[in-house]
């Protein structure tokens, strides 16, 4: 391939995150081309050959640019600790849902690494992809609910104090709660938002 041809391809893939998908298969299997593409566009990895989606260096280059690139990595690399940790940092916690499911539910590993705490501190919505063990952890869930009270619906274990925190921030959370909590916190919810009364059952 001539240098001018290669330069045109580089220009294309660095200005259009879907460009790699329009190239012929040999180009999507070319290490240099794919490496260039993933270093600037997180979706480029989607169009790389299966072999390159399983290349640790290619995937590392992708997640260093944007952690969400991990969603297009091979199943094997979605449980690579170096890759998932970098992806967490460069996606503000949003890559957690794309990790290998076994890794996300490995309570011992997650507890030791504190990755769920890191993920949810950066992106509270990540808690919906955490294991039951973590969603039952009141200490973990409470600060998440303080940031987004509606995430209380993903808690596997709910305390009355958690509910009070949630409705004091947004009274409309009342519609996500079981009757036993509504009766005890309705006055707090209505004080915060008068429209919360619409979610009180007769």
Q: What is the CA radius of gyration of the chain?
A: 22
What per-residue confidence (pLDDT) applies to 3?
65
Helix axes 56-65, 31-38, angle to 10 degrees: 20
Contact in structure between 126 and 94 (CB atoms under 8 Å): yes
Helix axes 160-169, 179-192, angle to 10 degrees: 30
- What is the dihedral sign for C-alpha 58, 37, 46, 104? positive
What per-residue confidence (pLDDT) applies to 2?
64
Q: How far apart are CA 118 and CA 123, in angstroms?
A: 9
Question: What residues does each domain of the chain span?
Answer: 137-202
Q: How far apart are CA 23 and CA 47, in angstroms?
A: 9
What per-residue confidence (pLDDT) applies to 101?
85
The DSSP annotation for 18-75 comes to THHHHS-HHHHT-HHHHHHHHTT-GGGGGGS-HHHHT-HHHHHHHHHH-GGGGGGS-T
CB neighbours of residue 83 within 10 Å: 23
The DSSP annotation for 85-110 comes to HHHHHHTTTGGGGGS-HHHHT-HHHH
17 φ, ψ (degrees, to nearest 5):
-70, -10
Contact in structure between 24 and 51 (CB atoms under 8 Å): no
Q: How far apart are CA 192 and CA 148, in angstroms?
A: 15
Per-residue pLDDT tens listing for the chain (202 residues): 566 777 788 888 888 878 888 888 999 999 999 999 999 988 999 999 999 999 999 999 999 999 999 999 999 999 898 998 899 888 888 888 888 888 877 777 666 566 677 777 777 777 887 778 878 888 888 888 888 888 888 888 888 888 888 889 988 888 877 777 777 787 887 888 787 777 766 5
Contact in structure between 133 and 140 (CB atoms under 8 Å): no
Tokens of 69: 């690139």
pTM of the entire structure? 0.68
């Amino acid at each position: 391939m001539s240098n001018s041809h290669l330069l045109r391809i580089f220009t294309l893939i660095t200005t259009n995150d879907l460009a790699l998908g329009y190239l012929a298969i040999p180009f999507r299997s070319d290490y240099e081309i794919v490496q260039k593409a993933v270093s600037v566009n997180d979706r480029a990895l989607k169009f790389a050959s299966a072999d390159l989606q399983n290349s640790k260096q290619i995937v590392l280059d992708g997640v260093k640019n944007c952690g969400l690139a991990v969603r297009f990595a091979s199943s094997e690399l979605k449980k690579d600790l170096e890759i998932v940790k970098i992806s967490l940092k460069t996606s503000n916690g949003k890559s957690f849902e794309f990790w290998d499911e076994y890794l996300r539910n490995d309570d011992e590993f997650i507890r030791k690494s504190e990755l769920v705490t890191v993920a949810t501190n950066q992106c509270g919505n990540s808690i919906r992809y955490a294991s039951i063990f973590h969603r039952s952890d009141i200490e973990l869930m409470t600060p998440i609910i303080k940031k987004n009270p509606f995430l209380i619906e993903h808690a596997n274990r709910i305390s009355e104090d958690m509910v009070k925190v949630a409705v004091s921030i947004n009274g409309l959370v009342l519609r996500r709660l079981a009757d036993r909590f509504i009766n005890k916190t309705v006055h707090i919810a209505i004080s915060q938002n008068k429209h919360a009364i619409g979610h009180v059952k007769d």
